Structure 1
Amino acid sequence: MMSDAMALLVADVFEAAGALRRLGEHTAQAEGLTQARWQVLSVVSETALTVPQAARRLGVSRQNVQRVANDLVNLGHATYEANPDHRGSPLLTLTPRGHEVLAALTQRASAVHRELFSALDSEEVSRTRALLRRLLQELDRHEQVDGRR
């Protein structure tokens, strides 16, 4: 039955997401960070963002990103800069140390991913990613139709 196959696919996606989250946490810990800190470093690595902007891009609460951003500032990985568009909402940006840590994490993650995906052929990876992207588009469309966004 198709509904059984769909339910099993959803279960597999959740299981894979959990395993990848654990792997990401382990990778971040090797550089002395958490996965949440890694995600915030990544989201502001190319352009400075306010905490609410970063939260929207990550799909998490503003309060969670605020806590993580403050941790990154205290660690010397990020800093707050004046926002010319909104005095009360400063821009979070990486420090040189933050860029170094992010580069080390990215390099470590690339090595882990190469090892992880070495057993899969590149065509399988491409097809799987294409299917997941289509599923995400359908989920996004469904949320918009239902007014959840």
Structure 2
Amino acid sequence: MAENKQTAEGKVSEVHKKIKAAFEAFDYESNNTVDVREISTIIYSLGCFPTQKNLHDFIAEVEEDHTGYIHLDRFLPAMTKVLLENKFPSIPEDLLLQAFEVLDKEKKGYLEPEELTKYMTQEGEPFTQEEMDEMLTALTDQEKNHIYYKDLISQLTIDPDM
């Protein structure tokens, strides 16, 4: 029994680390608060893909009295529950890998920031330049100026067996 409890605690601890890391990437003031408009990006970065209604309901649950800001103290427990209960199903790692491999036509194992920017601003629902700048800052290996998507995928997904 004690071993199962430890495993469950380890699982929660690991989930908390991922959530905090994703949240902190958008906490520009370093005050444990993010703009409500960043929440969908944070949730997607955790490998969750809620419907627009689910996203709206989640934001209503965690937003600070309609201020336009969300505090980590409210986001962390709510998002932990979402992840542990698999409320917003994630895209499987192998499917994400296939998508990146389609973009990586030369099979290099990475994308260059310019390549990713082109795909993300010209295809589908385009990202703004500000969104791209934020994403590239977080994802790009600064020494080599590459985005190693296999490392990225493991950061973006939660193991369903955890």
TM-score bucket of the superposed structures, by smaller chain: 0.3 to 0.5
Answer 1 or 2: which has greater helix percent. Answer: 1
Structure with the bigger RCO (C-alpha within 8 Å, sep 6+) is 2
Structure having the higher Rg? 1
Q: TM-score with structure 1 length normalisation?
A: 0.36
Query: When the two structures are superposed, what TM-score results if normalisation uses the length of structure 2?
Result: 0.34
